[in-house]
Amino acid sequence: MSTSTTLETPSTGTWDGGNEPLKASYGKLMMWFFLLSDAFTFGAFLIVYGLSRHKHLPYTGEPEAFTFSTQWWPIPEKVFNAFPGFHGVDLPLAFVALMTMILILSSVTMVLAVEAGHRMDKNDVQKWLLWTILFGATFLGCQAWEWAHFITGTEEGMMLADGTRIIGANLTVNQYGPPLFADLFFFITGFHGTHVFSGVILLIIIFLNTVYGTYQKRGHYEMVEKVGLYWHFVDLVWVFVFTFFYLI
């Protein structure tokens, strides 16, 4: 029953309060939880994609004989086979592979920017952020071309039973297959593109803050890390979008 000093101090374990149990600041935790909830948003969209596609018949004939029809879901390689400057050449998924490479590269440069932030190396942070912005913007540019091409369509279009042709795509009809094919393409890649666009804006803001020395004065580059988390998440989501829309 001796009253030692230990009596007066509260416990100090990992989860005993008065510390950061997950070794992360509140800002970083918030970003993680936001990304978790955003993952559910994208998850819902991809489930909508999966179920909608499941409701439609797949194409069962020979790949060489494939034609666009509202009767079946198109084969992605036959839809996404164009490349800027190579008109009429069949290059299945070449352009989207390039886009994906660019986005993955931007994730690499983002990692390097975060790493430079840990070293408090302002010049390196600036350099790598600029590369990331460049790659991000290039990705958006590629997506704009991809959309433009998708909307314009090909000369052949889709021949209907009554002899008319549908050329290009909008939200109601498209030349590639059932209306939902284009609906989902526009909606999901558009929603992802909006995320990339927001990411580029965020990157520009933190790039300017880095240039003005805000983070150097603050003593840490945690904001770069937080935006980095977001950027990697957007990149990861693209991997799923790419898999669902282009590969399967």
* Binding residues vs another protein (CB under 8 A): 1-4, 6-13, 15-18, 20-22, 24-27, 29-30, 33-34, 36-38, 40-41, 43-45, 48, 51-52, 55-56, 170-173, 178-180, 183-184, 187, 191
Smallest distance, another protein to C-beta of residue 107, A: 23
Smallest distance, another protein to C-beta of residue 190, A: 10
Which H helix or E strand runs over 158?
A: strand 158-159
Which H helix or E strand runs over 165?
A: strand 165-166
- Using the CB atoms, write b or e for 135-157: b if 16+ within 10 Å: bbbbbbebbeebbebbeebbeeb
- 88 to 1, 80, 91, 93: CA distances (angstroms): 90, 12, 9, 14
C-alpha span between 65 and 132 (Å, rounded)? 42
Of 86 and 212, the one with the shorter C-beta distance to another protein is 212
Of 34 and 131, the one with the shorter C-beta distance to another protein is 34
Selection from 189, 187, 236, 178 nearest residue 54 by Cα = 178
3-state secondary structure of 205: helix
Of 45 and 215, the one with the shorter C-beta distance to another protein is 45
10 Å Cβ neighbour count for 219? 8
Of 70 and 132, the one with the shorter C-beta distance to another protein is 70
Smallest distance, another protein to C-beta of residue 223, A: 14
Of 28 and 232, the one with the shorter C-beta distance to another protein is 28
Smallest distance, another protein to C-beta of residue 219, A: 20
Smallest distance, another protein to C-beta of residue 22, A: 6
Smallest distance, another protein to C-beta of residue 199, A: 18
Of 38 and 124, the one with the shorter C-beta distance to another protein is 38
